[in-house]
Structure 1
Amino acid sequence: MDADTLGGVQQVTHTLAQGLAQRGHEVHVVGLHRAATPFRYVDRPLYHHHVIAGKPVGSRGRLARRRADRRLKELLATIGPGYAVMTSPSVVTRLAGLLPARFRPIGQYHGSYDHARDCWHLGSIRRHYPQLDQAVFLSGDDAWLFAEHALLPNTWTLPNPLAVWPEEMSALTAPRVLGVGRLEGVKRFDRLISAFARSGAPPPWELHLIGDGSEDGRLRAHAAGEGVGDRVVFRGLVPAARMPGEYLGASILALTSEHEGLPIVLLESAAHGVPSVAFDVSGGVRSAASLLVPPGDVAAFAAGLAGLIDSPEERRRLGADARARAEGFRLDHVLDRWESMFAHIER
C-alpha cells in the first residue's frame, strides 16, 4: 500500500526492482499511499518510482479514494504491457477493476499460511488470488498449504532475495546475541529477553536489540525484571549500511516473532555465517534458520541459545551450514526464478 516505509516487504520490493532493472526490464514501483516516514532503500534507482496518494494509509475519504483511483488509472495507461506484481491481499483487492487487461496480474504474499489463517488474509486470498495469473509465496511449504486449503490452482514459490552477498564471515567469537526488528508486540522481544535471561549466558555475554518502536520502555522494564537489564543493550535504529558490521560482531541471531514470512534478517545473518535460533512459525523461517523451537516455547528457546553460547564448535558448524544454504537466496538466483516465472506465464 506504500512503498517506502521501513519494512521487509518494501525492502524486498526495491531490491527486486533494482535487480530486474539492471537486467534490462522496465520496472515501476508504485506506492498507493505516501509513507508516513519515508525510507530510501536504493541510492541510485534504475527503476521508476511513483506515489499515488499524498497521504498515508488510513487517512483517506471517499473523494480522496476516487481521486487516487483516477491518478492510478492515468499512470497505468502510460505503462505496459507487462506484469503487475501486487505485494499484499490489500493491494490485490484495491486493484480489482482498475488493472488494464494488458497487465498479467501476479499476487505476492509475504506472510505464512498460518498467519493468513489467523486473520482476514486467507479469506481474501481465497476470493481474489485464483483469478490471477500466478499466486506467489515465500516457501514451498506455504505454497503447498495455500494450494491445499485455499484451493489455489496457480501457486508459485519465490523466496526473498539477499541484496548483497558478503565476502566476510563473522568470527563467532564476540559474546553477543543479536535481535533485529521493530520494537513492537508482534516481534515478541519480551520472549527473547526472557530466553536470554534463562539461558544462563554468563557475563560478558550480552543481548543487543536493533530497532525502535512503541515497546521500548516496556522491554527495558522487562529486562530489568528478568535480572538482565545491564546486559540487554537497546541500540535503536542502525542504518542499513552499518548492518554488515553488526552481523560480523555477533555470534548468534535470535528471532522470536509471533509470525514471519521469510525475514531478511535471517538471510543476512546466515550469509555472514551467523547461526540462528528461531520459533518455527513458517516455511520461510524453516528454510533459513539454524535451530528451530516450537512457537512461543521460551524454555526451548533458552535451551537453544544455551547450547550455542556454550559451544564455539557448534556455532562454527551451524554458521557454515547457514552460509551455504543462504547461497540459494543470492539476488541473481532469485532473479533467475522470477524470469522463469515470467516465461511460464507467457507459455
Structure 2
Amino acid sequence: MKILITADTYPPQINGAARFTERLAEGLARRGHDVHVAAPSLTGRPSRQVVRGVTLHHVRSFRYPLYERFRLGAPWRGAALPLVDELQPDVVHIQAHFTVGRAFAAAASHRGIPVVGTNHVMIDNIFDHLPVPRLARGWVSRTVWRDIGRVYGQASVVTTPTPRAVDLLTEATGLQALAVSCGIDAAPFKDASRRWAAASQAPDHVPTALFVGRLDPEKRVDELLRAFAQLPASLPARLEIIGHGSCRPELDAIAKELQVGSRVVFRGVVTDEELVEAYGRADVFCMPGVAELQSIVTLEAMAAGRPVVAADAMALPHLVEPGRNGWLYTPGDVEELAGHLATLLGDRALRRRMGRESEVIVARHTLEATLERFEEIYDEVTHGRIVRLRPAA
C-alpha cells in the first residue's frame, strides 16, 4: 500500500509520539509498503528527503512561541491538498489533531481517502505549554476534547495505545476506539542488559535508578529527586536522569538543595545508542509521570529486564503489576516512592526476579505485532470493510 502518515512532531524532536511515528513508518517501509510522512519543517521551509526507506515531506511551518521545540503547520485543508493529490495514498494515518493532522484529515476526507487516527494526546501535557489559569482549565479541557472529537470523527478507525487511553478518549469525545500498543523492538535492550550483566554483579557495584523522558511538569521528576534524597544513608545508590525540558533548571536547584547533586547525573539528550546503554547499566527504572497514555520508555526499560517503580496513574498500571515486576505508588506520596526504591535498590535478587517478569510482560508489546495490526486496519478501511466506527451511545 501507499501510506501517508502525518505527524505534528517527528524526529529529531524527542517525545513518545515522535518516536512511535518514526518506528511505525520505518517498520511499514521494511515490510514493503510505500511510506510517506508529512511533518512540520524544523526550519520553516518545505523540503523532501528519503530516510531509511521513508519519504519525509517537511511541510511549511511556523514557530510556536510558547514551546521552542514545537512547530506549527498550516491547519487548513488547502495546505494539505497538493501533497494528497500528488501522492494519492491508499490511506492517511494522522497522529495528532493539532495542525498538520487536522489539515490532512480534512484533505483526505475531501478526496474520499480513508483516514486512520491515533491519539497520543493527554490534556495535562497541553496545559504545560499553554498559559491557562487553573480556574479555566476545566472549560479549556472540554473545548480541546470537543476539537479532538471533530478531527478524529473524520477517521474510519481511531486507535490509542492502551485500554485506559481508549476509556479516556471515549468518555471525553464519544468516539469508539481500538487499543493498539505502540510496540517496541526489544532486541537492542536485551543485548545491552546482557553486556552489563557482569558489571552489575561486581562487589563494588553501586545500584542505579534511571528516569528517561521530558523534564516537564507532568513527569513529576521533582518527586523522584525528593524520594531519592530520602533513601537510607546506609544504601549507596545513584540516580541517572536522561532528557531535557522546561523544568531542568528547577530540578538542578532541587538536587543541590537536597544535597544529592554528587549522586545524581543529568545526562540531557543522548543518542539512541547511549540510551540503550543507559537501560543496560541501570538497576531500577522509575516513571513518576501522571499523564502517560502508554510510556514507551517504560516498555524499553522492561525489555532490558529492569524492574519498574511507577506512578499509579493513567496507563502505567497496564505495565506494572505490583509485586511481580515492580511497584506502583500514589502520585505525590514521596515517602511511598522512596520506600519502593529502597526495597529494590537494596535487594539484588529481587531486582533480578522482577526484571525477568518485566521481560515476560513486555513480550505482549512487540513492534511486529503493532505493525501487523495496523496493516490489518489499513486493509479493512481501504477495502470498505470499515466505513466509520460509530460514536459511543
Give runs of ≥4 in structure 1 deviating > 6 Å. 113-118
Partner Cα separation in structure 2 for residue 151 and residue 242 of structure 1: 42
Partner Cα separation in structure 2 for residue 273 and residue 96 of structure 1: 39
More off after superposition, 109-118 vs 245-254: 109-118
Partner Cα separation in structure 2 for residue 216 and residue 277 of structure 1: 22
Q: Which residue of 2 aligns with 1:340?
A: 376
Partner Cα separation in structure 2 for residue 36 and residue 163 of structure 1: 31
Partner Cα separation in structure 2 for residue 143 and residue 113 of structure 1: 14
Partner Cα separation in structure 2 for residue 280 and residue 329 of structure 1: 20
Instruction: Say which of 94, 98, 102 aligns to 2:107.
Output: 98
Partner Cα separation in structure 1 for residue 26 and residue 238 of structure 2: 37
- Paired residue total: 335
Structure 2 length as normaliser, TM-score?
Answer: 0.77
Q: Which residue of 1 aligns with 2:16?
A: 8
Partner Cα separation in structure 2 for residue 145 and residue 237 of structure 1: 31
Q: Which residue of 2 aligns with 1:183?
A: 215
More off after superposition, 11-20 vs 199-208: 199-208
The answer to whether structure 1 residue 195 and structure 2 residue 203 are counterparts is no
SS at 1:267 equivalent? helix
Q: CA deviation at 1:305?
A: 0.9
Structure 2 unaligned runs (5+)?
A: 1-7, 67-72, 127-136, 321-325, 386-393
Q: Which residue of 2 aligns with 1:107?
A: 117
SS at 1:3 equivalent? coil
Q: CA deviation at 1:103?
A: 2.0
Q: Deviations along 1:17-74, whole A, 9 cap, x unmatched?
A: 010011111111101x22369xxxx995111100111543469xxxx949x8655321
Instruction: Say which of 155, 175, 178 aligns to 1:152.
Output: 175
Instruction: Say which of 332, 344, 354 aligns to 1:308.
Output: 344
Partner Cα separation in structure 2 for residue 44 and residue 7 of structure 1: 19
Distance 1:219 1:148, change over 3 A: closer
Identity of aligned residues (%): 28
The answer to whether structure 1 residue 329 and structure 2 residue 351 are counterparts is no
Partner Cα separation in structure 1 for residue 360 and residue 288 of structure 2: 23
Partner Cα separation in structure 1 for residue 272 and residue 297 of structure 2: 11
The answer to whether structure 1 residue 49 and structure 2 residue 72 are counterparts is no
Instruction: Say which of 239, 242, 264 aligns to 2:274.
Output: 242
Distance 1:138 1:112, change over 3 A: farther
Say what the alpha-carbon RMSD is for the aligned residues. Answer: 2.8
Structure 1 length as normaliser, TM-score?
Answer: 0.86
Q: Which residue of 2 aligns with 1:288?
A: 319
Distance 1:229 1:342, change over 3 A: same
Structure 1 unaligned runs (5+)?
A: none
Partner Cα separation in structure 2 for residue 35 and residue 305 of structure 1: 39
Instruction: Say which of 226, 232, 239 aligns to 2:264.
Output: 232
Distance 1:202 1:28, change over 3 A: farther
Q: CA deviation at 1:148?
A: 4.5
Q: Deviations along 1:67-90, whole A, 9 cap, x unmatched?
A: x86553211101234221111121
SS at 1:27 equivalent? strand
Matched letter for residue 312 of structure 1:
R
More off after superposition, 232-241 vs 118-127: 118-127
